[in-house]
A and B are shown apart, each in its own frame.
Chain A
Amino acid sequence: MIKKLFIANRGEIALRVIRTARRMGIQTVLGASEADATSLPAKMADQVEMVGPAPSSQSYLSIDKVVAAAVRSGADAVHPGYGFLSENATFARAIAAAGIRFVGPDIATLEGMGDKLAARALAVEAGLPVLPGGEAATRADVHARAAQTGYPLLLKAVSGGGGKGMRRVDRAEDLDTALDMAQAEAQAAFGNAAVYVERFVARGRHVEVQLLGDGTSAIHLGTRDCSIQRRFQKLVEEAPAPAMPLAAREGIEQAAVRLARHLNYRGAGTAEFLVDATDFSFYFLELNARIQVEHPVTEAITGVDLVEQQLLVAMGKQLTLTQAMIRPVGHAIEVRINAEDPDADFRPSPGRATRAEWPAGSGVRVDTHIGLGGEVPPHYDSLMGKLIVHGDTREEAVERLGKALESLHIEGLPTTTPLHRRIVADPRFIAGGVDTGFLTGLA
C-alpha cells in the first residue's frame, strides 16, 4: 500500500495526481520550489515540502534536494509526473535507496529508455522499425552522421522529451549553430547535453500508443494522434488516431505491446511512432516511461484513470485490466493552453491571469492550475491548462471543441487560445488525419 505520496512536480500534473491520490485515500505531499509555494497544487496538497529556489536546476531538477524533501516528508512513494526528473534513472535509484517507492518503471527500463539511443536499439531487438540516424558524440560525429542522413535532419537530446533540445536543421551551414542551441537546451532541461541525429520526415504523422504493464503482462489503451506541433511540442492531441485504417492502427498498437513485453514493462508508458501520412508505414521514435501530458484523451475514451493504474502497479499489484476489457468509446480531443504568443512565433509569455474563464459542460474536462490571479512563472514550462472534449464521434468532438473554445477567456497574458480557434475551424483539421506540417499551412 501507499499511504503518503510525494509529488515531485508542479502545475496541472501535480494537481492531477493529487486528485486521484485523494480519491484513493492516499495523503499527498507537494515538493514545491519557492516560486510555487503559493501555487494551487501547494494549496491542495495535504503537506508542502520546499525543494529549493525558483530555477529548476536548483529545485525540481536537483536530485539531492528532491530526495531529501521526500525523505523529510515521511512519504512512502514518489510520483514524478512528466518532465523534470520523471525519467531520470539516477533519481529513481536514489528514491529506492531511501526506501521509498518510485511510481514509474523499473530502473533498468528507465536506463534503457531515458537514453533515446539505447531505446532505439531495444526497439530494433523487439523487431520494431526505426528511422535512419544514430549516435553522434562529438561535433565531428554530428557532421559525419549528418552526411549520412542528409538534410533536413533532426538533432535530438539523448535524454530528451517534450521537444526540448530538439532542432530541425535544413542546411549544413546551420548545423553548428543549431547544435550549440540544442546542446544548451538539453543541458538546461535534462542536465545532459548529448544529442543524436535522425532523418527528418516532412510529411509524417505523430501517433503514439498508451501502454500499461505490471512487469508480466502488458496491454495497450489505443492510439493518440499528436501531429499538430510547434517546436516539436504537441499542441493538439486526439484519441483514437483519426483517418487511419483499422488495420494500420492495430499494427502500431501490436508493435507497441511487443516492445512493452520485450521490456517486461511496469507502469504507464507511451510508445511514440512516426507514421507516413500516405501509406501508414511507421517508425518507432521513443518510449516515454511516464505519464504523458495528453493522457486525458485516452482516459476520456477508455474510462481508465491512468494515474490510478500507475499507483496500483507501484504498489506491486497486478493489472486487473485485460486487453478485452479496453473498449474505447467515442472520440476525444485535447488542446494545450500555453502562455505563449502564437502571433509572435510562440514567444513564451509568463505573467498573471487577470481573467481565467474556462469552459464547462457535458463532455468537457479542464485540467489546470491557473485560476483568476494565477501566475505563470518564467522559470518553467508554459503549459497553463488543458481543455479536453469528448464526443460520440469525432465530428461531435470537433464541434464541442469549437464551442468550448468560444467560452475560454484568459486575459493578462497572451495564450495559444486564438490559435486553437483557427485550428478547429480549419477544413483540414475538421476532415482529420493532418500531418506534422499542418501549422505551417494554417491560414
Chain B
Amino acid sequence: MTDDLPLTHEDIAEIAAILEQSGYRELDLATRRFRLRVAQGEGADGGMTQEWQWAGAAGEAAAEAATIQADPQAICSPLPGTFYHAPQPGAPPFVKPGDAVGPETVVGIVETMKLMNPVHAGRSGTVAELLVPDGTLVAKGAALIKLT
C-alpha cells in the first residue's frame, strides 16, 4: 500500500516551491488511489492551492431527508443529529403529551458532533405526540414533536 504514498506537508511545500520557481502554473498527478492538483491561483494575489481527490470519495450524495414535509403543527429539528427526549438516560423526558409549552420551552436535545443542542418549542401550544423515538438519528428539518 505504500507504493503511491500519501505525500506529506513537507512534500507539498516542496512541490509548491518548485512550481513557484518554474514557468508552470499547476501540477496535476493521478494514481489509482488519488489525484492531487497543486496550482497557482488565478488573479493578482492568487495563492498556491492543493486539492486532493480520493478514489471512491465522490460517490453518491449523502442521504438527505428529501421527503420532509413542513408540518405547521410540528416542532422540527434545527440540525441533523440524534434526538433525545430526556436530558440524561433514565431521566424524565423534557415534555410528554398533554404538556403545555411556550416558545422557549426546551422539548428535547439534538446531539450533533458530541454537542447537546437544546430544541425549543418555538411557539406556544400543547404537546400532542412525540413523533420520533428517543435516540433516533434525525435529519435537519425532521418533524420531532406534534403540537396542537
Residues of A participating in the B interface, judged by any CB pair closer than 8 Å: 15, 18-19, 22-23, 38, 40, 43-44, 46, 55-56, 164, 177, 180-181, 183-185, 187-189, 193, 231, 339, 347-352, 356-367, 371-375, 378-382, 403-404, 406-409
Cβ-defined contact, B57 with A381, below 8 A: no
Give CA–CA (A379, B55) in the complex, Å.
23
Specify the chain B residue showing the minimal Cβ separation from A365: B9
Q: Which residues on B sit within 8 Å (CB–CB) of A358?
A: 49-52
Known contacts A164-B114, A360-B16, A373-B58; is A347 also within 8 Å of B50 by CB?
no
Give CA–CA (A372, B61) in the complex, Å.
13
Known contacts A356-B51, A360-B12; is A382 also within 8 Å of B1 by CB?
no
Cβ-defined contact, A365 with B13, below 8 A: yes
Known contacts A360-B12, A407-B46; is A184 also within 8 Å of B116 by CB?
yes
Closest Cβ–Cβ distance, residue A361 to chain B (whole Å): 4
Closest Cβ–Cβ distance, residue A386 to chain B (whole Å): 10
Give CA–CA (A358, B52) in the complex, Å.
9
Known contacts A360-B38, A373-B57; is A350 also within 8 Å of B88 by CB?
no
Select the stretch in B65-73, B95-103, B105-113, B122-130 that faces chain A: B105-113
Q: Which residues on B sit within 8 Å (CB–CB) of A382?
A: 113
Q: Is B28 an interface residue (CB 8 A)?
A: no
Known contacts A347-B79, A404-B47; is A372 also within 8 Å of B114 by CB?
no
Specify the chain A residue showing the minimal Cβ separation from B82: A55
Closest Cβ–Cβ distance, residue B26 to chain A (whole Å): 11
Give CA–CA (A193, B87) in the complex, Å.
11
Cβ-defined contact, A38 with B57, below 8 A: yes
Beyond A361-B17, A362-B17, A381-B114, 19 additional pairs, beta carbon < 8 A:
A19-B6, A44-B1, A44-B6, A46-B2, A180-B87, A185-B116, A188-B111, A188-B114, A189-B114, A347-B78, A358-B50, A359-B47, A361-B47, A362-B20, A363-B13, A366-B50, A372-B52, A380-B114, A408-B49
Give CA–CA (A181, B119) in the complex, Å.
12
Among A43, A231, A403, contact of B47 (Cβ-Cβ < 8 Å): A403
Closest Cβ–Cβ distance, residue B29 to chain A (whole Å): 14
Cβ-defined contact, B62 with A188, below 8 A: no
Give CA–CA (A429, B51) in the complex, Å.
29
Q: Which residues on A sit within 8 Å (CB–CB) of B38?
A: 360
Q: How many residues of B contact A (CB 8 A)?
A: 53
Closest Cβ–Cβ distance, residue A410 to chain B (whole Å): 11
Cβ-defined contact, A183 with B88, below 8 A: yes
Cβ-defined contact, B80 with A350, below 8 A: yes
Cβ-defined contact, A364 with B6, below 8 A: no
List the 8 closest pairs (A to B, CB-CB), nearest first: A371-B52, A373-B58, A407-B47, A373-B57, A361-B48, A360-B50, A372-B53, A365-B9
Give CA–CA (A380, B111) in the complex, Å.
10
Specify the chain B residue showing the minimal Cβ separation from A364: B13
Contacts between the two chains (Cβ within 8 Å), count: 149
Closest Cβ–Cβ distance, residue A173 to chain B (whole Å): 13
Specify the chain A residue showing the minimal Cβ separation from B50: A360
Among B45, B79, B81, contact of A403 (Cβ-Cβ < 8 Å): B45
Q: Which residues on A sit within 8 Å (CB–CB) of B93?
A: none
Closest Cβ–Cβ distance, residue B53 to chain A (whole Å): 4
Q: Which residues on B sit within 8 Å (CB–CB) of A46?
A: 1-2
Give CA–CA (A29, B53) in the complex, Å.
22
Give CA–CA (A254, B145) in the complex, Å.
55
Cβ-defined contact, B12 with A366, below 8 A: yes
Q: Is B33 an interface residue (CB 8 A)?
A: yes
Specify the chain B residue showing the minimal Cβ separation from A376: B113
Specify the chain B residue showing the minimal Cβ separation from A372: B53
Closest Cβ–Cβ distance, residue B95 to chain A (whole Å): 14
Cβ-defined contact, B53 with A407, below 8 A: no
Specify the chain B residue showing the minimal Cβ separation from A404: B47
Question: B110-148: contact bitstring with A at CB < 8 Å (1 yes, 0 no)?
Answer: 011111111000000000000000000100000000000
Q: Which residues on B sit within 8 Å (CB–CB) of A364?
A: 13, 16, 48
Cβ-defined contact, B49 with A357, below 8 A: yes
Specify the chain B residue showing the minimal Cβ separation from A163: B115
Known contacts A185-B114, A356-B52, A359-B50; is A373 also within 8 Å of B88 by CB?
no
Closest Cβ–Cβ distance, residue B17 to chain A (whole Å): 6
